[in-house]
Amino acid sequence: MAVVTLQNVRKVYAGDIEAVKGVSLDIPDGHLCVLVGPSGCGKSTLLRMVAGLETITSGSVAIGGREVNEVEPADRDIAMVFQNYALYPHMSVYDNIAYGLRNRRTPKDEIDRRVQEAARILAIEPFLNRKPRALSGGQRQRVAMGRAIVRKPQVFLFDEPLSNLDAKLRVQMRVEIKKLQRALGVTSIYVTHDQVEAMTLSDKLVVMNAGRVEQVGAPSEVYRRPATRFVATFIGSPPMNLLDGVVEGEGRVRVDGAVLDVSDMRAGLQPGHLVEVGIRPEDLEIVGSASNSVSLPIDFVEELGATQLFYGALGGQPFVVQAGTGVVPADAKSLGLRIAAERIHVFDRESGQRLGRVAETAAA
Amino acid sequence: MVERRHWFSDMLPHLILTIGVGILAFPVWLAVVGSTWDAGTIANGTMPLYPGPYAVENYTRALGHGGRSSGEPVGMLMLNSFVMALAIALGKIAISMISAYAVVYFRFPFRMAAFWLIFITLMLPVEVRIYPTYQVVAQVGLLDTYAGLAVPLIASATATLLFRQFFMTIPPELVEASKIDGAGPLKFFKDTVLPLSITTMAALFVIQFIYGWNQYLWPLLITTRPDMQTIVVGIKKLLVTQDALTEWQIAMTTAVLAMLPPVLVVLVMQKLFVRGLVETEK
Ligand SMILES: Nc1ncnc2c1ncn2[C@@H]1O[C@H](COP(=O)(O)OP(=O)(O)OP(=O)(O)O)[C@@H](O)[C@H]1O
Ligand SMILES: [Mg+2]
């Protein structure tokens, strides 16, 4: 069990490709930290630097207070689960799980005890004598987990461990990983580009973009108060609507001819300041055709079962509304919308930074 | 779409294959038959196409004494050939596997240069570099030794390339998992690369054993003592005789015996061999 601390970590690959551009991060003991971001943003690179599989160009990585920049992967007391599992194809499941312990000269009976225990926890006892190729994807995934947990490491590292599984199994394994991580209390870093996985798994969510950290926080906080326009559109599905707007006065923004009251906007902004207003599709109130509402002509509707998505455009910019099935009459041609002042996010149009509070409370 | 097949289109492939097999097998059959007749029958051109009564006599003489002109018992020649072929095959596998491992898994200075140097040796088989090679072998005193027979033939670009190709199909995550599991380069080689390469090694062994067994020019050049000769050289000597009649029955017998070890190697390794050539599963 250990705290993981990254300080201004950078990675420059051969050919001046700067994959990670200075990341600082504190992961408290026992927390599950999820790195999420679009493809190529440097998540894997960052994780692999913690694992010791990539050299660290500058900055420092510390595990349990010990700087490990120059420490071999085997001596960092970490275990890693790979996307393609990386099981040894010629070894039985038992040997796959035991291999790391054998290399550490753990006594035989101790190895056996630990392998059996891991197999029991992961329900893979019936397969211990099989070769990986005789297992299904989900079973291989479990073996890979087994290989990680027998070692009782200080840190688990996961690089998109579920992305080779089908949707249903992915949800199931997601829950299991979370439970297991809770039960073992091992500090974990989990890389994914699936934002649902990221939201559901994390104690601490790190949103990355182009080699930088955009925002760190509890998942609910990141969702409620995205620090940048990028985070706003990346977290949440369907993504947040963005409309161009102009500051009208304190707490007021003009969007497409209408003036909106905003409760969370930085004070002292000059009227005329160019902003973008963010509204989540699920935050809108549908009010029929009441006064002081905005009317959205419906272009088309997507049925998701429990909810429906209404697509249209406001002021020439695409706009999506999510509503419970049945709330809107089937033959409606337009929606009357109202939005609560505290549900409106305001971003600087130039920098994309949130113009408002980011942290919910002082302590993260 | 299901197609009605004509009897002719069923038969055609069989017909072609039968002709092919016939062409390949006929000389072998001739040799086998020849090894069971006496010299006279073969020499006057009336040898029938079925086995004759002299098999036991011919084989005992060949194995025990050899032909008049070569004077070495075939058993001895076969042993020499066997040692040489085995040393070449095993040596090639060992060396090329290690060098491929270095080229694929280590980032050392001039790595690509090393790789291209290995590659270029494809253009330098023994026959091309035979004179300098002979000089070196002679000067270090390896004439008439097994080492002299085998070592110069061991370096192999083909095998190195084959292993390199194979290693590059091993997922890089396996190396990383090994690193995290505490296995260094030697342990990774022993615990993961070697077991995964077994079928590739088997395929190479078959090919290289036959390559070694069939060597003619090199053993001819560096062996002077009759008891260090290989069987392929021995057959040649049986055919060229200055004073006496060629002992065709002994030549045929020797030829048949010379075919046996490669055939045995292929038979024994067949399963692994085929898997090694076609296997893609990692
Ligand atoms: N060995 C390498 N050499 C050079 N550039 C690399 C190397 N590995 C990764 N990169 C580059 O670094 C950047 C970050 O790569 P990384 O694998 O960390 O992305 P990622 O966030 O994990 O993406 P994905 O979600 O697709 O896995 C990419 O632009 C990639 O092209
Ligand atoms: Mg990645």
Ligand 1 centroid distance, CA of A35 (Å): 14
The alpha-carbon gap from A214 to the nearest alpha carbon of chain B, in Å, equals: 29
**Atom 19 (ligand 1) nearest CA:** A40
In whole numbers, what is the pLDDT of chain B averaged over residues? 87
Contact A140, A68 (CB under 8 A): no
State the residue range of the domain holding B217: 69-278
The number of C-alpha atoms within 13 Å of A360 and in the hemisphere containing its C-beta is 12
Whether A31 has a pLDDT exceeding 90, the answer reads yes
The type of residue at A360 is E
The Cα A236–Cα A309 span in angstroms is 14
What pLDDT, in 10s, does the model give residues A280-312? 999 999 887 666 778 899 999 999 999 999 999
The alpha-carbon gap from A352 to the nearest alpha carbon of chain B, in Å, equals: 38
Whether A90 has a pLDDT exceeding 90, the answer reads yes
What is the value of ipTM here, to two decimals? 0.86
Q: What is the DSSP letter of A353?
A: B
Give kind and range of the element (H or E) at residue B100. helix B74-105
What pLDDT, in 10s, does the model give residues A121-151? 999 999 999 999 999 999 999 999 999 999 9
What is the rounded average pLDDT of the residues A340-360? 88
The type of residue at A28 is P
Ligand 2 centroid distance, CA of A44 (Å): 4
What residue ranges define each of the domains in chain A, with the CATH number in brackets?
4-228 (3.40.50.300), 238-348 (2.40.50.140)
Q: Which of B215, B233, B195 is nearest to B86 (CA)?
A: B215
B191 part of a folded domain: yes
Under the banding of pLDDT at 50, 70 and 90, the label for residue B243 is low
Partners of B173 on chain A (C-beta within 8 Å) are 82-84, 86
CATH number at B244 reads 1.10.3720.10
Atom of ligand 1 nearest to the CA of A17: 5
Under the banding of pLDDT at 50, 70 and 90, the label for residue A360 is low
What is the percent of chain A where pLDDT is above 90?
A: 77
Whether A166 has a pLDDT exceeding 60, the answer reads yes
The Cα A97–Cα A139 span in angstroms is 13
The alpha-carbon gap from A90 to the nearest alpha carbon of chain B, in Å, equals: 7
Determine the pLDDT at residue B54: 87
Sheet holding A187-192, edge to edge: A78-81, A155-159, A187-192, A32-36, A204-209, A212-217
Helix axes A93-103, A137-149, angle to 10 degrees: 20
B158 part of a folded domain: yes
Look at A114 and B5; give whichever has higher pLDDT: A114
- For A99, which of B176, B181, B196 is closest by C-beta distance? B181
Partners of B191 on chain A (C-beta within 8 Å) are 88, 99
B211 part of a folded domain: yes
Mutating to test ligand 1, I would choose from A11, A13, A206 the residue with most ligand atoms within 8 A of its C-beta, which is: A13
The Cα A104–Cα B52 span in angstroms is 68
B242 part of a folded domain: yes
Determine the pLDDT at residue B282: 44
Residues contacting residue B81 through CB under 8 Å, at least 6 positions apart: B213, B230, B231, B232, B258, B261
Q: What is the dihedral of CA B273, B277, B281, B282, to 10 degrees?
A: 80
Ligand 2 centroid distance, CA of A191 (Å): 7
What is the percent of chain A where pLDDT is above 70?
A: 97
Mutate to test the interface with B, among A13, A90, A154, A189 (most CBs of B within 10 A): A90
List, in sequence order, every residue forming a beta bridge with A212; answer none if it has no partner: A209
Determine the pLDDT at residue A364: 36
Whether A231 has a pLDDT exceeding 80, the answer reads yes
Chain B stretch 150-179, residues whose beta carbon is closer than 8 A to a beta carbon of chain A: 171, 173-174, 176-177, 179
Contact B240, B234 (CB under 8 A): no
Residue owning tokens 């071999």? A72
Contact A347, A269 (CB under 8 A): no
Give CA separation, B273 vs A131, B89, B262, B265, B282, in Å: 22, 14, 13, 10, 17
B228 part of a folded domain: yes
The number of folded domains in chain B is 1
Whether B11 has a pLDDT exceeding 50, the answer reads yes
Could you tell me the pTM of the whole model? 0.85
**Atom 28 (ligand 1) nearest CA:** A40
The Cα A59–Cα A33 span in angstroms is 20
Assign A268 to helix, strand or coil.
Answer: coil
Partners of B187 on chain A (C-beta within 8 Å) are 103
Contact A260, A252 (CB under 8 A): yes
Phi, psi (rounded to 5 degrees) for A306 = -70, -30
Contact assignment for B179 to A52 by CB distance below 8 Å = yes
Residue B109, preceding peptide bond in cis (omega within 30° of 0): no
| Both structure tokens of B219 | 């053993």
Contact B148, B215 (CB under 8 A): no
Determine the pLDDT at residue B68: 67
Look at B240 and A166; give whichever has higher pLDDT: A166
Assign B157 to helix, strand or coil.
Answer: helix
Q: What is the DSSP letter of B109?
A: T
Determine the pLDDT at residue A363: 38
Contact B45, B196 (CB under 8 A): no
